[in-house]
C-alpha cells in the first residue's frame, strides 16, 4: 500500500467513524439494529450539498444535515415504539422511503458542488496543504463527536439511554419513558450518520443517492473490529474503539484492494462482499469458540 493510499484510508476511517459512532449507539447501546443509516448517510450528503449550492454557509449545512438525519431516525423509532413495527422492518421502511426523498431533495440522483466553498476551504485558507485538509477536518469532527458522546453518556439523560438498552423494565420502573429515549437515541444516531454523509459529500465534491449502500454493514464491521481489537470496558474506550475500528476497517479494505494473487485482483465492487464476510466471521466466531471449548 502506498503512503498516499494509507493516508486516504485513515481519512475515510475518520469521516466514516462518525457514522460508526452512530451505529454503535443504536446497535450496541440501545440494542436497536437500525438500517435507516443506509438512507440517512446520503440524506446528510444531499441536504448539505443542496444547501451549499443554494448559498448556505457550509458549516450551517452540516447542522441542517444533522437535523435531517435526526428526523429520519425519529421516524424509524416512532414506527417501532408507537406502532409496534419490528425495529428492523421499521428501519428498512424509512431507508427505502429516504431513497425517494433524497432524489427529491437533490432533484435528481446526484448534485455536484463545483466551485462552491466547503468546510475544507476554510482549513486550506489557514495554510494547511490541501491533501491534509481532509485529515484535519475529519480528525477534528471525529474527535468532537467522540468527546461529545462520552460526555453525554455520562450525564443523567445519557445514563438513562444506557439503561434503556440494557434493561428497559428497570429504567421504566425508575420513571423513564423509554419510548422517548429510543426516539431521541435513534434520532441522534442518524444525525451523526447524516453528519458523516455531509462531510463526505463536501470532501468529494458531490452527493449521490447511491453512496449509502452498505453503510450499515461497514458500520457493524467497524464496531466489531473496534471491540475486538481495542476493547470496550468503559464508555470512553468503547467510543474511541469504534472510531479506531473504522480506521482499521478502511485500512484493511485498502489493503485488500491492493492485493494481487496471481492474476486475481479485488474490484472496488467486491467491497460489500468482503465486508459482509468479515461481519459474518466476527458474528459467528464467539459462538464457534464456545462450541469448540464446550467439547
Interface with another protein by CB under 8 A: which residues? Answer: 152, 154-160, 162-163, 166-167, 169-178
Burial class (CB in 10 A: 0-12, 13-18, 19+), 254: buried
Residue 169 or 269 with smaller CB distance to another protein: 169
List beta partners, residue 111.
207
Least distance in Å: CB of 229 to another protein?
20
Least distance in Å: CB of 162 to another protein?
6
Least distance in Å: CB of 201 to another protein?
31
Q: Compute the CA torsion angle 260, 265, 267, 273 (nearest 10 deg).
A: -90
Residue 41 or 162 with smaller CB distance to another protein: 162
- Spatial separation of the C-alpha atoms in residues 31 and 27, rounded to whole Å: 5
Q: Answer for the pair 187, 78: CB distance below 8 angstroms, yes or no.
A: no
171: CB partners within 8 A, 6+ apart: 160, 163, 164, 178, 181
Half-sphere exposure at residue 70, Cβ-oriented, CA atoms within 13 angstroms: 8
Q: Which of 241, 233, 209, 229 is nearest to 20 (CA)?
A: 241
- Spatial separation of the C-alpha atoms in residues 85 and 92, rounded to whole Å: 11
Residue 130 or 155 with smaller CB distance to another protein: 155
Least distance in Å: CB of 28 to another protein?
10
Least distance in Å: CB of 21 to another protein?
18
Residue 116 or 159 with smaller CB distance to another protein: 159
Residue 155 or 285 with smaller CB distance to another protein: 155
Residue 147 or 210 with smaller CB distance to another protein: 147
- Spatial separation of the C-alpha atoms in residues 83 and 101, rounded to whole Å: 22
Burial class (CB in 10 A: 0-12, 13-18, 19+), 28: middle
Least distance in Å: CB of 155 to another protein?
5
- Scanning the structure block, which residue is given the C-alpha cell 496471481? 262
Tell me which DSSP letter residue 205 carries: T
Residue 168 or 205 with smaller CB distance to another protein: 168
Amino acid at each position: 500500500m502506498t503512503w498516499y493510499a494509507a493516508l486516504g484510508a485513515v481519512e475515510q476511517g475518520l469521516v466514516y467513524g462518525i457514522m460508526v459512532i452512530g451505529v454503535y449507539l443504536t446497535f450496541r447501546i440501545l440494542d436497536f439494529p437500525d438500517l435507516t443509516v443506509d438512507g440517512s448517510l446520503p440524506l446528510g450528503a444531499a441536504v448539505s450539498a443542496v444547501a451549499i449550492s443554494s448559498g448556505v454557509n457550509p458549516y450551517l449545512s452540516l447542522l441542517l444535515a444533522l437535523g435531517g438525519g435526526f428526523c429520519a431516525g425519529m421516524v424509524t423509532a416512532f414506527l417501532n415504539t408507537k406502532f409496534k413495527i419490528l425495529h428492523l422492518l421499521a428501519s428498512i421502511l424509512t431507508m427505502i422511503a429516504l431513497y425517494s426523498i433524497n432524489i427529491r431533495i437533490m432533484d435528481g440522483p446526484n448534485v455536484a458542488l463545483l466551485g462552491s466553498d466547503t468546510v475544507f476551504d476554510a482549513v486550506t485558507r489557514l495554510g494547511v496543504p490541501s491533501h491534509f485538509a481532509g485529515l484535519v477536518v475529519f480528525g477534528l469532527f471525529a474527535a468532537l463527536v467522540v468527546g461529545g458522546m462520552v460526555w453525554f453518556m455520562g450525564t443523567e439523560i445519557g445514563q438513562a439511554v444506557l439503561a434503556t438498552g440494557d434493561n428497559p423494565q428497570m429504567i421504566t420502573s425508575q420513571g423513564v419513558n423509554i419510548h422517548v429515549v429510543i426516539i431521541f437515541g435513534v434520532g441522534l444516531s442518524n444525525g451523526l450518520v447524516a453528519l458523516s454523509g455531509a462531510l463526505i459529500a463536501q470532501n468529494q465534491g458531490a452527493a449521490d443517492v447511491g453512496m449509502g449502500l452498505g453503510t450499515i454493514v461497514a458500520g457493524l464491521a467497524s464496531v466489531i473490529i473496534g471491540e475486538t481489537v481495542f476493547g470496550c470496558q468503559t464508555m470512553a474506550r468503547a467510543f474511541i474503539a469504534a472510531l479506531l475500528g473504522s480506521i482499521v476497517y478502511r485500512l484493511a479494505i485498502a489493503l485488500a484492494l491492493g492485493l494481487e494473487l496471481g492474476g486475481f485482483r479485488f474490484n472496488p465492487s467486491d467491497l460489500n462482499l468482503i465486508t459482509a464476510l468479515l461481519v459474518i466471521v466476527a458474528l459467528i466466531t464467539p459462538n464457534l469458540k464456545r462450541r469448540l471449548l464446550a467439547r
